Amino acid sequence: QVQLVESGGGLVQSGGSLRLSCAASGITVDAYAIGWVRQAPGKSREAVACISSSDGRTDYSSDSVKGRFTISRDNAKNTVYLQMNSLKPEDTAVYYCATALGLFRTTLDLEEFDYWGQGTQVVVSP
């Protein structure tokens, strides 16, 4: 059974950094594409970043996170990370990792994800 468990969220000041972790079980993190999705208060979920399976290609959702967020993985630890730098109050959200069996390329389409973690809260204070 596929399980994804996020950790690493917390309260940080504007301009600070956090590294989120997504520990996988039931799959290896290089077998399928894995993405990070966030949901800000009162808003819909939005994909933030995704990493493909075999070649580790990455994709980011918008200019607002490009250059600040980096998705990566550690196959030995079976974990995908989201390094977030220069955080802004608008980055405040619950962050989820997600994947789907048979998904190999990067995607920012939420409907392509079948398995989701429980989420980790990130709060960025002004």
CB atoms within 10 A of CB 72: 14
Mean pLDDT of all residues in 91-119: 97
Span 12-64, pLDDT tens digits = 999 999 999 999 999 999 999 999 999 999 999 999 999 999 899 999 997 78
Span 13-23, pLDDT tens digits = 999 999 999 99
Tokens of 21: 């972790």
Contact (Cβ atoms closer than 8 angstroms) between residue 84 and residue 122: yes
Phi, psi for residue 69 in degrees, rounded to 5: -105, 145
pLDDT of residue 12: 98
